[in-house]
Amino acid sequence: MRRRDLFLALLPPILWATGYSLRKGGLQHFQPLFTTAMMYAIAGVILFRPSSGIKTPLRWLIIISVFGFGLQSALIFYGVSLVDTSLANLVVQAQVPSAILAAWLLGLERLNPLRMAGVALAILGIAVVVGMPKPGEAYLGLICILAGTASWGLGQALIRLRSRDSIRQLIGAMSLLAVPQLLAASLLVEDDHLGRLMTGSAYEWFGVVFLGVGSFVVAYLIWYGLLERNRMDQVAPFALLMPLVGMFNGVVFFDETLTPSFLFGAALVLSGLVITIMARDARRVGAPTPRVGTPAG
């Protein structure tokens, strides 16, 4: 990997983790579903190119947009609004084992013993963190995040199985399709949308724009650009920086405390992810880049 790509590889996990941190402000004011709808609208307008058309069948576009975008984002972002930044950045890493298990169920992956051990270790670490004493609201948030990661994993497997478009065009189309889903759900369970739009502070609006442009569009374009120029096993480990940056943001900017139990669980999760990524990609060195997303949410 060239020196320029090494620098670029640091940016997506930093943007993803910072996005989760900024979501706290935007999600609390604009509400989770409405915030997510605005984020996808921004990303879809930037990424989708109508002149290029869509090759993926419509029924699969709709199914993928539900599981891989609308449903997973609604669950994860609602969960993020209820838990600490450090915890959210760590537990959302369950997307990696979720994607692997979903791919295995659909016949896209083989679970060799090393990969199974990595998945098990990551799940054990998440169980340690989830099992720590927390306010009742935080448990609901964690359940939503974990359910969202399972939905994301299924969506990623379906992308690999049914997508016929480039990653940029597919993400743009999926983002636009997710907007009406999230708006409909937001109108049912959230309130005062116009009032919140009118009273949002500069910080809260910055959080929404950063989510759509920085954490989504810029981060994904850099990430997939790296995957086009480098092997997956060279790029994927940089995603493990996301929970570390999230912990740093939580401690420095949100006065969160990292307990020994949390750090132990985090070490188990990161160790499991290292094993899982290395085991998965070692088999694919030199193979074409798979059409699968990243642990971003």
Identify the pLDDT of residue 149.
92
**Which residue's entry shows tokens 């941190």?**
21
Residue 68 is inside which H or E element, if any? none
28 or 161: which carries more pLDDT confidence?
161
Closest CA to 170 of 48, 275, 11: 48
Identify the pLDDT of residue 145.
92
114, amino acid identity: L
Measured on CA atoms in the order 183, 34, 293, 120, is the torsion positive or negative?
A: negative
What is the per-residue pLDDT across 118-129, written as a single tens digit (0 to 9) for each? 888 988 988 888
Identify the pLDDT of residue 169.
92
Identify the pLDDT of residue 188.
92
pLDDT band at 217 (very low <50, low <70, confident <90, very high): very high
- The torsion defined by the Cα of 26, 30, 33 and 34, in degrees rounded to 10, comes to -120
Read off the pLDDT of each residue in 148-167 and give the average, rounded to a whole number: 89
Identify the pLDDT of residue 57.
93
Side-chain half-sphere exposure of 55, counting CA atoms within 13 A: 10
Identify the pLDDT of residue 235.
75
Identify the pLDDT of residue 151.
95
How much is the mean pLDDT over the chain?
Answer: 84
287 or 69: which carries more pLDDT confidence?
69
Identify the pLDDT of residue 279.
72
- Cα 231 to Cα 85, 127, 167, 192, 197: the distances in Å are 31, 31, 17, 47, 43
**Which residue's entry shows tokens 């994993």?**
153
**Which residue's entry shows tokens 């493990």?**
240
Total Cβ atoms within 10 A of residue 123: 17
- Phi first, then psi, for residue 115 (nearest 5°) are -65, -40
Instruction: Judge contact between 43 and 172, C-beta under 8 A.
Output: yes
What is the per-residue pLDDT across 61-98, written as a single tens digit (0 to 9) for each? 999 999 999 999 889 888 888 888 888 888 888 887 88
295 or 6: which carries more pLDDT confidence?
6
Identify the pLDDT of residue 197.
93
Read off the pLDDT of each residue in 259-278 and give the average, rounded to a whole number: 86
Identify the pLDDT of residue 290.
42
CA dist., res. 207 & res. 59, Å (int): 33
Instruction: Judge contact between 207 and 26, C-beta under 8 A.
Output: yes
296 or 140: which carries more pLDDT confidence?
140
Read off the pLDDT of each residue in 230-247 and give the average, rounded to a whole number: 76
Identify the pLDDT of residue 19.
82
Measured on CA atoms in the order 12, 15, 18, 19, is the torsion positive or negative?
A: negative
Read off the pLDDT of each residue in 37-60 and give the average, rounded to a whole number: 93
CA dist., res. 285 & res. 232, Å (int): 7
What is the per-residue pLDDT across 131-155, written as a single tens digit (0 to 9) for each? 776 677 788 888 999 999 999 889 9
Fill in the DSSP letter of residue 50. Answer: G
Closest CA to 12 of 217, 277, 219, 199: 219
Q: Is 74 buried (19+), middle (13-18) or exposed (0-12) by CB count in 10 A?
A: buried
Tokens of 159: 């992308």
Q: Assess whether pLDDT exceeds 50 at residue 10.
A: yes
